[in-house]
Structure 1
Amino acid sequence: MARTTPPRPVDIAALFPELAPLARQAVRLHPRPGEPGVHESSVGGPLLWPADEQWPVCTQPHDHWSPPVSLDDVRRSRALLEAQWLRPRKAGENLLDPAQRELLDRLRAGHPAHTGPNPLLPVAQLYLRDIPGLTGPEGADLLQVLWCPLDHDDALPAAHLVWRDSRGVGALLTDPPAPLDVDHYGHYVPEPCALHPEAVTEYPTPLELPKELADRLHAWGEAARHPEGDRGPGGAYYQYELSVAPGWKVGGWGPWSFCDPWPMECPDCGAAYRPLFTVDSGEWDGGSGSWIPLEDRQPPPGPVGHRRPSDPPMVQIGRGYTLQLYVCPTSFDHPHYAAMQ
């Protein structure tokens, strides 16, 4: 089912014409539970990978705040919790019985960290035909994103980008290696999702605007009211409801929030990086309700399982933040850059 972002509560560029030249297109991916195949765009799905091409591995040092677990441990833990959340329960009945609690504790106990290379985990596969405005190197029609599902020096999973021509892939790798170690809580393991791309318009967050304009937007937000007469979210109204869309997306603006933007320049050529791909810990929350797609505004029928409607991929960055991947505008061969906001 397609997903439709409601019109913004206010045409902010009409009220503040200085914003109009800063408009950018972003493509909200709207990942939802599915069973995507290798010839489809997806989050957490299988990759179109040549059988004769080496699968990438991570050889960087890892920060193990808690013992790592296996990918199978994460999958089994989620399946157990999903089944129990969905089953009918009597008032006061525990979610898990003693045997299930023992199994869950065992799955979450972890194991000693491996010291060798850690195979990467598929995160997203984006066919350019599905993503309006997404371009790649000459001849490439597919972007694949993988990462090492462990914390590194920057407290982020280490991402790896692959651009390829899907038409030149012969025999396929059907059984890619799984990571030996996954972060203890499984926060970096995306569940398989089909995508429903939708182009929207974004504007910079206040931290990327001239201070005078940001101050005027803050003052306007303090006085703004929703059409139904309820008070809006004060000075943050522009930031949360009118500037940057939440959720997994391609392009647009960076969601600067809890720290000031810093210069991000390609080490090879000095060009300013541009946003490519955003991984979010949820598609909406209490501060971004106007971005909830029309098709998701009614509560789902029946009980809600372990997989929240606002976070079908079940990925969490930090304490509920986003990970953005930036690329150099002069060459796709130059290194990308990752930031957390």
Structure 2
Amino acid sequence: MSFTTPPRPFDVTALTPRLAPLARTATRLHPRPGSPTVHDSSVGGPLLWPADEPWPHCEGPHDASLAEDTPRSAEDIRALRRVRAASAERRLRDRRAPVRTPEEDEVWRRHGGGRPWFEGPVPMLPVAQLYARDVPLPARPAGSDLLQVLWCPCGHGVSEPRTALFWRSAATVTEVLDAPPEPPAIEKDGYLPRPCLLTPEQVTEYPSTMELDEELQDQLSDESRWEAAGAEWDDGEAEDPQDFYFRNLATAPGWKTGGWTFWSLTDPEPRDCPTCGTEEIPLLTIASSEWDDGSVSWRPAEDPADPAQHLPGDPSEPTLVDIRGGYTLQLHVCPASPDHPHLQIME
């Protein structure tokens, strides 16, 4: 099925026309649990990886003392997720049903205890595979039609998991790697994306408040301008008009390509390429959720308002990815050359 972002509560360019030339197109990926193949665009799905090309490994360092959660194998995490999903479905039918059955308790005992920490290079995990036929890919190198994103199963400081990008032409992959290696342990369950298919949708974005000049910020703060334009900003969640703009009219939440950089934790920082100094542009946003209480206006019309009526799990958290308890990891690339290092921004 397709997913449709509701119309924005208000055309903000009617409030301040100076925003019009700042509009950018972002592509919301709308990941939803499924069974992708190597020929699908996906989150957490199998990659069209050449059988004769080495699988990427992270060289570290991987400090066990910095681990936030109990390290588990990918098999452990998948088994425990099946138990949680079965429990949620059972209790949705009958609230008096047991949280776990004896069989599920055994699965928990077998897989919940954790795994030994690893040393040395560790296989990276698939995060996303995006075909250009499905998803617009900013700064796509000539001759490529496929982007593959992987990351380390271990956090690396404030930037979270270390990511790796691979551009390739799908037609050149004649023999696919059948069984990619998996890391012996994953630091957090939220670093293993649940396999999801995508239903991309293009939306219009505007800069975060902190990227606007003082005049535009003042115009957005002026309640009389909102009143004159016939716009309502007090939706019960926003603290002021600027906050309403930030939550509902600027950048879309969730997994997406392109658009504007999202800023919430820090002031905007330089995004200069470390090789050539060109400003890097947003490529892919990896998100912990598709929306939250403050951005519910972005919830697709097809998703239920009550998460309890949706299976499997909360529709706002389809990938089960968790970046530091709910943040995003934004990957930026240099438009001058795909060979230049990409940047990670956690917000």
Same fold by TM-score greater than 0.5: yes
Q: Give the direction of change, closer, same or farther, for the CA distance of 1:223–1:231 in structure 2 (3 Å limit).
A: farther
The residue matched to 2:127 in structure 1 has which SS? strand
Query: Partner residue of 2:112?
Result: 108
Deviates more, 1:239-248 or 1:265-274: 265-274
Pick aligned residue for 1:337 from 317, 329, 343? 343
Q: Does the Cα contact within 8 Å between 1:222 and 1:234 map onto a contact in 2?
A: no
Say whether residues 1:258 and 2:261 are aligned partners: no
Say whether residues 1:282 and 2:286 are aligned partners: no
CA shift for structure 1 position 257: 0.9
User: 2:313 is matched by which residue type in structure 1?
Assistant: R
CA shift for structure 1 position 46: 0.7
Q: Give the direction of change, closer, same or farther, for the CA distance of 1:133–1:78 in structure 2 (3 Å limit).
A: closer
The residue matched to 1:154 in structure 2 has which SS? helix
User: 2:75 is matched by which residue type in structure 1?
Assistant: D
Query: Partner residue of 2:180?
Result: 176
CA shift for structure 1 position 304: 4.0
**What are the superposed Cα offsets for residues 45-104 of structure 1, whole Å, 9 maximum, x if unpaired?**
110011000000011112423442111110001011101110146545541246634642
Q: Give the direction of change, closer, same or farther, for the CA distance of 1:93–1:34 in structure 2 (3 Å limit).
A: closer
Say whether residues 1:96 and 2:100 are aligned partners: yes
Query: Partner residue of 1:145?
Result: 149
Q: Does the Cα contact within 8 Å between 1:31 and 1:194 map onto a contact in 2?
A: yes
TM-score (ref. length: structure 2):
0.91
Query: Partner residue of 2:78?
Result: 75
**What are the superposed Cα offsets for residues 238-291 of structure 1, whole Å, 9 maximum, x if unpaired?**
000000000100000111012111112111101111111001111111111111
Distance 1:169 1:29 in 2: 24
Q: Does the Cα contact within 8 Å between 1:70 and 1:182 map onto a contact in 2?
A: yes
Equivalent runs, 1:2-151 vs 2, <5 Å:
2-62=2-62, 63-88=66-91, 90-97=94-101, 100-101=104-105, 103-104=107-108, 106-132=110-136, 134-151=138-155
Distance 1:226 1:289 in 2: 18
Query: Partner residue of 1:196?
Result: 199
The residue matched to 2:166 in structure 1 has which SS? strand
Query: Partner residue of 1:319?
Result: 325
Distance 2:235 2:277 in 1: 47
Equivalent runs, 1:187-266 vs 2, <5 Å:
187-220=190-223, 231=236, 233-235=238-240, 236-266=243-273
Distance 2:244 2:224 in 1: 5
Q: Does the Cα contact within 8 Å between 2:233 and 2:244 map onto a contact in 1?
A: no
CA shift for structure 1 position 154: 2.5
The residue matched to 1:238 in structure 2 has which SS? helix
Distance 2:264 2:224 in 1: 16
Gaps of 5+ in 1: none
CA shift for structure 1 position 213: 1.7
Distance 2:305 2:142 in 1: 43
Distance 1:212 1:179 in 2: 51
Gaps of 5+ in 2: none
**What are the superposed Cα offsets for residues 169-222 of structure 1, whole Å, 9 maximum, x if unpaired?**
1111111111222014x1111111110111111000111111332233134499
CA shift for structure 1 position 7: 1.1
Q: Does the Cα contact within 8 Å between 2:139 and 2:335 map onto a contact in 1?
A: no
Pick aligned residue for 1:165 from 149, 166, 169? 169
Deviates more, 1:230-239 or 1:124-133: 230-239
Q: Give the direction of change, closer, same or farther, for the CA distance of 1:304–1:130 in structure 2 (3 Å limit).
A: closer
Residue correspondences, number? 339
Distance 2:172 2:329 in 1: 31
Distance 1:239 1:109 in 2: 42
